[in-house]
Chain A
Amino acid sequence: MTLTSSELEQLLRELVERRIEPPSREWLERTLAALGAAPDRGALLEAFTAATRRLGRARLAPTEAEMARLDGAGVSWPIGSWGADELGRVALLVAAAAHWPEAELPALVEECYRQGDGAERQAVLRALPLLPGPERFLETAVDACRSHIQPLFEAIACENPYPARYFPELNFNQMVLKALFTGVALERVIGCDGRVTPELSRMAAGYASERRAAGRSVPPDIGRLTGERGDQP
């Protein structure tokens, strides 16, 4: 089951509001109300950037009841590591999606990403699976996989259902190889097991062979892709 954008916005807003102080709460309420009344690009971009200063970085760490509600809303992947700012930014984008002309949303999201700092870019990537027409954001998501900034790469590759749902095979395989290459545990790649193909197995086996030829260790979880045993950590 998926909720409409405004129901999801409500749920995300409640989650963040429980974790912030009254002045921050007022700011968020005021900002979201203004967005709902009259979508304003400049105001959204400004609020999106200001979110860390306004909301702080406290970790979300949801309760079991909250996790059940999230799961009911279709958010079945872990979001416990998100900060209040990240959650607030995702709520802003979800709210924007509810109020913006549908065709203008991709340009707005792209602008948040391209002009964003590291934390803003990560929040955009976390929001992608929650926005309407998620396949429209494929280019941004794939671009993030090319980054050498590990937290940015992990924001799309880890605890995010987007790649398994929307990436073409080539991009998904490259992302998984990069996860292996950068020491990311494959269990963090949502939906990885369901996307293993003979080509991905071949690439992973090739990587194991290259590592062994260089006298280096092989990631312990490579068997998820190849069926072989990796080295113990």
Chain B
Amino acid sequence: MKLFDPHIHMTSRTTLDYEAMAGAGIVAVVEPSFWMGQPRSHVGSFEDYFASLLGWERFRASQFGIRHFCTLSLNPKEANSARIAQGVIDLLPRYLSKDGVVAVGEIGYDDMTLEEDKYFAAQLELAIRFDLPALIHTPHRDKKRGTERSLALVREVGFPEGRALIDHNTEETLPLVLESGCWAGHSIYPFTKMDEPRMVALVKRYGAERILINSAADWGVSDPLKVPKTAALMRESGISEADIERIVWQNPVAFFSQSGRLDLGPLGDSPAIDQTRLWEGNSVLRGQQPIVKR
């Protein structure tokens, strides 16, 4: 079964992770732009960051047989920085129409401030303008209220619910999201957010429609193999193959295909690997024999 990790920050991961992911059946990933663990203080830092998501990281993924797509945005935390927020919003139109950008995201709430409200709404408008779906992060603190407010804002802006993916759901937020018509993402984490057995319980209760899972792996304690691991536990727990495939492949493909820019190649197979290729003169290899698989 082909697997899709629809939320993973590969910039923070190693080539060993790419190898392990490809080995476990992951053939496509979406990397949302987000923050770097500490605040950036110049708009130019975002220019370079967006360029690396569209350039070097996509190349790096291809060297391990994984198709890399991204979503771009001003993230919720940095929406609070007066030094950069408006500058990043002004920069985004240069990038949102590029190939392989499959949504605006991750946007949403962190502290639920007025600035976050303003830039969340502004970026939903940008998504409408660039005909993109939206990937919406929900906050760690006051999560239920944050989810309710996100759903309310989506309605207020008139953003089509079927083009909004609300992420990082829990037992308390999933029913709200499903009721709204938005798609529901779940980040399977070693300690916080959601774990595999709880995810299995949610699928048994709510089914597979509009439900996605991701690893949200980043620079913190996280696991880029959470999608295959959760799929394995679903299988062991008696969830049907059809439902599993829907969650780990058909749903993310259907959601991000709404961008018109999710090019998975013929039949969504793994892309050919050619490690003899270079990116701006750079290779991912360090003296190894290049692998070439057609």
Complex A-B, nearest 7 residue pairs according to Cβ-Cβ distance, in ascending order: A177-B141, A213-B171, A174-B111, A203-B142, A146-B77, A148-B37, A213-B172
How many angstroms from the CA of A142 to the CA of B116 in the assembled complex?
Answer: 14
Which residues of the partner chain A approach B144 to less than 8 Å between Cβ atoms? 206, 209-210
Contact yes or no, A215 B172, CB < 8 A: no
Contact yes or no, B142 A206, CB < 8 A: yes
Please give the residue numbers on chain A whose beta carbons come within 8 Å of chain B beta carbons, in ascending order. Answer: 114, 139, 142-143, 146-149, 170-171, 174, 177-178, 181, 203, 206-207, 209-210, 213-215
Contact yes or no, A213 B141, CB < 8 A: no
Asked whether B253 is an interface residue with its Cβ less than 8 Å from the other chain, the reply is: no
Q: Which of B39, B81, B142 has the most CB of A within 10 A?
A: B142
Residue of B nearest to A211 (CB): B170
Interface residues on B, range: 20 to 34
Contact yes or no, A214 B145, CB < 8 A: no
Asked whether B41 is an interface residue with its Cβ less than 8 Å from the other chain, the reply is: yes
Interface residue from A146, A149, A181 paired with B110 (Cβ < 8 Å):
A146
Contact yes or no, B220 A171, CB < 8 A: no
How many angstroms from the CA of A214 to the CA of B186 in the assembled complex?
Answer: 13
Please report whether the interface of chain A is mostly helix, strand, loop or mixed according to DSSP: helix
Least CB distance, A63 to chain B, in whole angstroms: 37
Contact yes or no, A210 B38, CB < 8 A: no
Given contacts A206-B144, A210-B170, A213-B171, 16 further A-B pairs with CB under 8 A are: A114-B41, A142-B80, A143-B39, A143-B80, A146-B110, A146-B111, A147-B39, A170-B113, A171-B111, A174-B112, A177-B141, A178-B141, A203-B142, A206-B142, A210-B143, A214-B194
How many angstroms from the CA of A178 to the CA of B171 in the assembled complex?
Answer: 20
Asked whether B198 is an interface residue with its Cβ less than 8 Å from the other chain, the reply is: yes
Asked, given contacts A177-B142, A207-B141, whether A214 binds B38 with beta carbons under 8 Å apart, the answer is no
Asked whether B267 is an interface residue with its Cβ less than 8 Å from the other chain, the reply is: no
Which residues of the partner chain A approach B81 to less than 8 Å between Cβ atoms? 143
- Could you give 28 example pairs across A and B, Cβ below 8 Å? A139-B82, A142-B80, A143-B39, A143-B80, A143-B81, A146-B39, A146-B77, A146-B111, A148-B220, A149-B37, A170-B112, A171-B111, A174-B111, A174-B142, A178-B141, A203-B142, A203-B145, A206-B142, A206-B144, A207-B141, A209-B172, A210-B143, A210-B170, A210-B172, A213-B170, A213-B171, A213-B172, A214-B170
How many angstroms from the CA of A212 to the CA of B136 in the assembled complex?
Answer: 25
How many angstroms from the CA of A114 to the CA of B84 in the assembled complex?
Answer: 14
Which residues of the partner chain B approach A181 to less than 8 Å between Cβ atoms? 140-141
Which residues of the partner chain B approach A206 to less than 8 Å between Cβ atoms? 142-145
Residue of A nearest to B81 (CB): A143
Which residues of the partner chain A approach B111 to less than 8 Å between Cβ atoms? 146, 170-171, 174
Which residues of the partner chain B approach A142 to less than 8 Å between Cβ atoms? 80
How many angstroms from the CA of A206 to the CA of B194 in the assembled complex?
Answer: 17
Contact yes or no, B142 A214, CB < 8 A: no
Interface residue from B80, B112, B143 paired with A146 (Cβ < 8 Å):
B80
Contact yes or no, B38 A149, CB < 8 A: yes
How many angstroms from the CA of A210 to the CA of B147 in the assembled complex?
Answer: 13
Least CB distance, B112 to chain A, in whole angstroms: 7
How many angstroms from the CA of A207 to the CA of B145 in the assembled complex?
Answer: 11
Which residues of the partner chain A approach B82 to less than 8 Å between Cβ atoms? 139
Which residues of the partner chain B approach A174 to less than 8 Å between Cβ atoms? 111-112, 141-142
How many angstroms from the CA of A42 to the CA of B198 in the assembled complex?
Answer: 55
Which residues of the partner chain B approach A203 to less than 8 Å between Cβ atoms? 141-142, 145
* Contact bitstring B123-166, A, C-beta under 8 A = 1, else 0: 00000000000000000111111000000000000000000000
Which residues of the partner chain A approach B170 to less than 8 Å between Cβ atoms? 210, 213-214
How many angstroms from the CA of A170 to the CA of B145 in the assembled complex?
Answer: 14
Least CB distance, B144 to chain A, in whole angstroms: 6
Which residues of the partner chain A approach B110 to less than 8 Å between Cβ atoms? 146
Least CB distance, A215 to chain B, in whole angstroms: 7
Q: Which of A142, A143, A146 has the most CB of B within 10 A?
A: A146
Least CB distance, B78 to chain A, in whole angstroms: 9
How many angstroms from the CA of A207 to the CA of B146 in the assembled complex?
Answer: 12
Which residues of the partner chain A approach B171 to less than 8 Å between Cβ atoms? 210, 213-214
Least CB distance, B110 to chain A, in whole angstroms: 7
Which residues of the partner chain B approach A210 to less than 8 Å between Cβ atoms? 143-144, 170-172
Contact yes or no, B141 A214, CB < 8 A: no
Residue of A nearest to B110 (CB): A146
How many angstroms from the CA of A149 to the CA of B172 in the assembled complex?
Answer: 28
How many angstroms from the CA of A178 to the CA of B142 in the assembled complex?
Answer: 10
